[in-house]
Amino acid sequence: MNILLTGGAGYIGSHTAVVLVQAGHKIVIYDNFCNSSKPTIDNLESVVKQKVSVVEGDIRNTSLLAQTLKQFSIDAVIHFAGLKAVGESVQEPLNYYENNVQGTLSLLRAMNELCVKNIVFSSSATVYGDPQYLPIDEAHPLAPTNPYGRTKLHIEQILEDQTKADIDFKVVNLRYFNPVGAHASGLLGENPKGTPNNLTPFIARVASGDLQELNIFGNDYPTEDGTGVRDYIHVEDLADGHVAALNFLSHTVGFETFNLGTGNGCSVLQMIVAYKKASGKKIPYRIVSKRPGDIASCYAAPTKANQILKWKAGRTLQEMCESSWAFQQYLKNSHPVSANTQ
Ligand code: NAD
Ligand code: UD1
């Protein structure tokens, strides 16, 4: 298939690009590089050992999107492009609605014009809000607690409405849990701008000596060791989930949602132990107060994806930490790059 990857230069998109090329698909990356960098494309090409088509553009540019869909005879779109920082979305909600929701409407307009009827959407477990029960299945009530999460829910609803209006329009809606780790080559991974907000990139920088210590946000949660529990999933497993989603799209109708997670909860302290083992480095930490809005535990029931998509996240926590550490070493040894995601 000819597949357009909006946001394909980003963290999850670049890993997915690799597995799609390896599965024999032709890909086109459409990205405005607002949260990624061009050297990522060079590294991607080194990994897949071939040139990759890239269009630099914004998803809000409907005519450029339409032109791209036509030029490359696109059969399906995987829609990664979006802004994703929760804190920033609270400060700048209009930018988030404009980029994520308006951007998706623009994409759908272009797809409609060119009769492209297949889309896989990058949603998030954040749409569930505070878990009412665990593990979280796809039927769990939806109550996002921040503007970022609400943009994801709005987009899900828009996509579902469109499948009702047009019986040929098909959507696989993927709700990711916590993607971590990096590509086995050590060339692709996540490298956030400034001080990382998320746990694993923060630990990676502590292990490499760039940051002094990790602040653990609370140790009196009702979890086994008192620290927050999440469902960390290796980004390469997540990438494989997109190939499975595309296969499913070809013999389905309407709108279908799948959780992509491992089903296993891992605490902050467990992550520190695993990362220490992977890197051979000390991870100094101290306990500080809880982060506002944080929840105790969140992990997926991935049964639906396991059964229907015939996909399962198989890589271990150790592999997640080892690959993250290998990428951290690569960043340290390579020449500094101009943007954040390499
Ligand atoms: P990322 O920031 O690394 O990648 C997103 C890409 O989209 C970037 O390359 C960015 O430049 C591009 N982009 C953003 N706005 C654009 C626009 N208007 N036009 C064109 N390109 C644009 O993020 P990621 O971690 O790879 O996430 C991919 C998707 O998955 C996002 O939609 C995100 O919300 C979702 N998601 C991510 C996580 C996570 O923890 N990483 C979890 C759940 C869901
Ligand atoms: C964050 C996002 C969420 C997104 C998810 C997936 C927030 C509020 N939420 O959630 O929308 O879907 O990532 O990537 O940003 N922790 C520390 N110290 C740190 C960083 C984190 O102790 O410096 C703890 C947190 O309290 C939490 C766990 O580590 O218990 C994971 O945190 P994080 O990586 O930020 O992910 P989420 O909180 O799940």
Answer yes or no: is the C-beta of 291 below 6 A from any ligand 2 atom: yes
Whether 25 has a pLDDT exceeding 80, the answer reads yes
Task: Return d(Cα 59, Cα 48) in angstroms, integer.
Answer: 25
Burial 230-242 (b: 16+ CB within 10 A, else e): bbbbbbbbbbbbb
Residue 275 is among the residues annotated as catalytic for this protein: no
Answer yes or no: is the C-beta of 135 below 6 A from any ligand 1 atom: no
Answer yes or no: is the C-beta of 195 below 6 A from any ligand 2 atom: no
Answer yes or no: is the C-beta of 178 below 6 A from any ligand 2 atom: yes
How far, in Å, from the CA of 193 to the mean position of ligand 2? 16
Positive or negative torsion for Cα 218, 223, 226, 229: negative
Flag the least confident range among 32-41, 183-192, 326-335. 326-335
Residue 191: per-residue pLDDT? 87
Residue 292: per-residue pLDDT? 87
Work out the pLDDT band at 340, boundaries 50, 70, 90. Answer: very low
Atom of ligand 2 nearest to the CA of 227: 30
Whether 339 has a pLDDT exceeding 80, the answer reads no
Altogether, the residues listed in the chain come to a count of 342
Q: Out of 30, 96, 97, 148, which one is annotated catalytic? A: 148
Give the pLDDT mean for 117-139.
98
Residue 21: per-residue pLDDT? 98
Work out the pLDDT band at 335, boundaries 50, 70, 90. Answer: low
How far, in Å, from the CA of 242 to the mean position of ligand 1? 15
How far, in Å, from the CA of 24 to the mean position of ligand 2? 35
Work out the pLDDT band at 156, boundaries 50, 70, 90. Answer: very high
For the chain, the domains span 2-180+233-260, 199-230+264-334
Give the pLDDT mean for 264-273.
98
Flag the least confident range among 226-230, 250-254, 268-272. 250-254
Looking at domain 199-230+264-334, its CATH superfamily turns out to be UDP-galactose 4-epimerase, domain 1 (3.90.25.10)
Whether 336 has a pLDDT exceeding 80, the answer reads no
Tokens coding 195: 């001080």
Task: Return d(Cα 211, Cα 117) in angstroms, integer.
Answer: 46
Taking only the tens place, the pLDDT of each residue in 42-63 is 999 999 999 999 999 999 999 9
- Residue with the smallest CA separation from ligand 1 atom 33 is 84
Instruction: Please provide the average confidence, as pLDDT, over all residues in the chain.
Output: 96
Answer yes or no: is the C-beta of 254 below 6 A from any ligand 2 atom: no
Work out the pLDDT band at 144, boundaries 50, 70, 90. Answer: very high
How far, in Å, from the CA of 170 to the mean position of ligand 2? 32
Residue 149: per-residue pLDDT? 97
Residue 192: per-residue pLDDT? 86
CATH code for the domain defined by 2-180+233-260: 3.40.50.720
Q: Torsions phi, psi of 59, nearest 5? A: -70, -15
Instruction: Report in angstroms the alpha-carbon separations of 333 from 15, 40, 213.
Output: 21, 16, 22
Instruction: Report the SS3 class of residue 126.
Output: helix
In this structure, how many other beta carbons lie within 10 angstroms of the beta carbon of residue 22?
Answer: 12
Task: Return d(Cα 71, Cα 68) in angstroms, integer.
Answer: 5
Answer yes or no: is the C-beta of 31 below 6 A from any ligand 1 atom: yes
Work out the pLDDT band at 240, boundaries 50, 70, 90. Answer: very high
Tell which one of 122, 230, 298 to mutate to probe ligand 1, the residue whose CB is within 8 A of the most ligand atoms: 122
Whether 32 has a pLDDT exceeding 90, the answer reads yes
Helices (H) and strands (E) in the chain, counts: 12, 14
Express as a percent the part of the chain with pLDDT over 70: 98
Give the pLDDT mean for 113-140.
98
Instruction: Report the SS3 class of residue 27.
Output: strand
Taking only the tens place, the pLDDT of each residue in 192-210 is 888 999 999 999 999 999 9
Residue 338: per-residue pLDDT? 35
Taking only the tens place, the pLDDT of each residue in 293-311 is 899 999 999 999 999 999 9
Task: Return d(Cα 310, Cα 241) in angstroms, integer.
Answer: 9
Give the pLDDT mean for 173-195.
95
In this structure, how many other beta carbons lie within 10 angstroms of the beta carbon of residue 223?
Answer: 17
Whether 110 has a pLDDT exceeding 50, the answer reads yes
